[in-house]
Amino acid sequence: MTYLYNDPVEFADELIDGFVAANKALVKKVNGGVIRAARTPDSQVAIVIGGGSGHYPAFSGLVGPGLAHGAAMGNLFASPSAQQIYTVAKAVNSGSGVLFTYGNYAGDVLNFDQAQARLIAEGIPCRTVAVTDDIFSASLAEKHKRRGIAGDLAVFRAAAWAAEGGASLDEVWALADRANERTQSFGVAFSGCTLPGASAPLFTVPEGRMAVGMGIHGEPGIDELDIPSAHGLAELLVESLLEARPASISSPAGSRIGVILNGLGSVKYEELFVLYGSVARLLEAAGVVIVEPDVGELVTSFQMAGVSLTLFWLDAELESAWTAPAYAAAYRKGSVTAQLAAEEGDSQAGAEEQDVMALASDESQAAGVAVLASIRAIKDMVDENVDELGRLDSIAGDGDHGIGMQRGATAALIAATDAAERGAGAGSILQRAGDAWADRAGGTSGALWGLALNAVAASVGDESKPTATDVAAGVSAALAAISQFGKAQLGDKTMVDVLSPVADSLGESAVLGLSTGESWNLAVHVAADAAAATSDLLPKIGRARPHMEKSLGSPDPGAVSLSLAIAAVAKVLNTSTQEASK
């Protein structure tokens, strides 16, 4: 369990504040995460890492010379929002572009991709290497679906070394990508972890047993065995990783490798050293030359008991990167001459933006009343269904859909109310709501809801009274945005299975000349049927994927919450039209 916390909801924010207070010479806080205290030198590509909080030293502990320029930090085990990532990237960009590198998880990919699109649209070059070192998380043929675990460090080191050596963004990307191709990890787990304030562990492993290949958030592995001796475990890890080595390595003998033996939280250093003794002997017996091994905690999951072994197959450049000096809060190597404490005038400027509300017409301001009421109705619906949505998500996912939607809808209502009070039009109210939702909800669905609300906002605008056609076009644009970033297709068992028929239905109603209220009434039935029909589908995407068959017979949580939201909005639209015609 977690012993020390205040309000569990504030835990992630409070840990960032404390971390920054403890490392003032090294890092500064910005909205969304932390950045190096010293400014990124001109003409240096900035390396931005990130992910959910709760994995220290990943990610804030890996910010500093020889490692990242900034880390975007999400809520506990939840991706940072696109807005957070964007803010961190803007704060560290020196004008030479930004490399994003992070562990390959659906929510992170979605949010980093959005932030990347936004930077590129502003003329800031940005590229991405999502780390895929966990060899048991997907087959070699589906390597792009593999997760990132402790091998993140090898890729971060390669990227940072190239950037600090003055390489261009394309060159930095190429070296980081090569490091990823040559980094492989294998993890085992003995017990799960309990998040602050939670009454039960997020996942469990039976007493005396070991989950083989299990992910750091409890994603299922490939096998379960009795816990072997330390030497027995070393044999399993080393043999599997040598066997699975990258295709470009013809034989382990003579190869030079960086080694990371990572403890996930409650396996102690003493145990790690006992294990490492065997790992080193076995690798040396295979003829491998070990270069500067790291034994310790590099990616954790609270008190999760488990270890992972990473082999980083070096070449000359990657070895220079791996052995280069570094000075971050949680990772120090060699001697760094780079400036640490920020001199006056040399510190990173935060990317603070002025909050200016766009001018709105009277009709659009008036339409904003129904928009605000709709957002309030969605929030009330989520509050009422928070437990049920969580339960549906726990069948095959991670159980956070209720609380994620609640965080998102609550933040959206606060932002929308503020915008409306400041005279915003319907479009701006929706846009503020969408940004706040994406920023606070966490999870995949939060990012997608943010995109959806922004798409509707763009179509509705702040100039005229939104017509049924504008709204229908906005919902179609929302579907396009969600499909583009989430990459789910119809039938993959996601919210797309509801949004797609709803977009069609609203489009048809608009062509027939129905009012917005009438159109949405028809869409309510389409949505409810489509959500129910997801029970028969197998998930093909997102967090639920590895638990495929468990979810047969239950509807997709994101599809259900969307259909309930459509019903809530339809009710508001019909009440407000009745009132308007009175």
Is residue 404 near ligand ADP by the rule CB under 6 A? yes
Nearer to Mg ion, 258 or 539 (CB): 539
425-454 positions binding ligand ADP, by CB under 6 A: 443-445, 448
- What is the pattern of x (binds ligand ADP, CB under 6 A) and - over residues 496-515? x-------------------
CB atoms within 10 A of CB 419: 25
DSSP result, 120-156: HHTT--EEEEEE--BTTSS-GGGGGGPPP-TTHHHHH
d(CA 222, CA 456): 42
Identify the DSSP state of 54. S
Give the active site residue among 55, 217, 525, 547. 217
d(CA 567, CA 522): 10
Point out which span in 52-60, 127-135, 307-315, 553-561 binds ligand ADP (CB under 6 A).
553-561
217 carries an active-site annotation:
yes
Smallest separation, CB 141 to ligand ADP (Å): 20
Smallest separation, CB 137 to ligand ADP (Å): 16
Q: By three-state DSSP, how is residue 162 classified?
A: helix
- What is the pattern of x (binds ligand ADP, CB under 6 A) and - over residues 8-47? ----------------------------------------
Which residue has the closest beta carbon to ligand ADP? 558
Q: 482 touches which of Mg ion, ligand ADP, none (CB within 5 to 8 A by kind)? A: ligand ADP
Q: By three-state DSSP, how is residue 112 classified?
A: helix
Point out which span in 165-173, 248-256, 400-408, 512-520 binds ligand ADP (CB under 6 A).
400-408
Sort strands 98-103 and 326-328 into parallel, antiparallel or unpaired.
unpaired
Q: What are phi and psi of 466, to 5 degrees?
A: -65, 130
CB atoms within 10 A of CB 34: 27
d(CA 514, CA 396): 39
392-431 positions binding Mg ion, by CB under 5 A: 393, 397-398, 400-401
SS3 string, 260-329, reads EEEECCCCCHHHHHHHHHHHHHHHHHCCCEEEEEEEECCCCECECEEEEEEEEECCHHHHHHHHCCEEEC
Is residue 106 near ligand ADP by the rule CB under 6 A? yes
Is residue 576 near ligand ADP by the rule CB under 6 A? no
Is residue 54 near ligand ADP by the rule CB under 6 A? no
Is residue 543 near ligand ADP by the rule CB under 6 A? yes
Nearer to Mg ion, 427 or 442 (CB): 442
DSSP result, 391-421: HHHHHHS-S-HHHHHHHHHHHHHHHHHHHHH
One-letter identity of residue 185: S
Point out which span in 290-298, 344-352, 360-368, 551-559 binds ligand ADP (CB under 6 A).
551-559
Is residue 219 near ligand ADP by the rule CB under 6 A? no
d(CA 541, CA 545): 5
Is residue 107 near ligand ADP by the rule CB under 6 A? yes
Count how many residues are written for the chain. 582
Smallest separation, CB 345 to ligand ADP (Å): 41
> Residues in contact with Mg ion, total (CB under 5 A)?
5
Nearer to ligand ADP, 465 or 550 (CB): 550
Comparing C-alpha atoms, which of 139, 110, 108, 69 is closest to residue 450?
110
d(CA 204, CA 194): 10
Q: What are phi and psi of 463, to 5 degrees?
A: -100, -45
Smallest separation, CB 110 to ligand ADP (Å): 7
Point out which span in 19-27, 195-203, 423-431, 540-548 binds ligand ADP (CB under 6 A).
540-548
Nearer to ligand ADP, 305 or 436 (CB): 436
Smallest separation, CB 393 to Mg ion (Å): 4
- What is the pattern of x (binds ligand ADP, CB under 6 A) and - over residues 359-398? ----------------------------------x---xx
Is residue 542 near ligand ADP by the rule CB under 6 A? yes
With left for phi above 0 and alpha for psi between -120 and 50, is residue 447 left, alpha or beta? alpha
Bridge partner list, 209? 226
Residues that bind ligand ADP (CB under 6 A): 106-107, 393, 397-398, 400-401, 404, 443-445, 448, 482, 486-488, 494-496, 541-543, 556-559
Interacting residues with Mg ion (CB under 5 A): 393, 397-398, 400-401
Which residues are marked as active site? 217
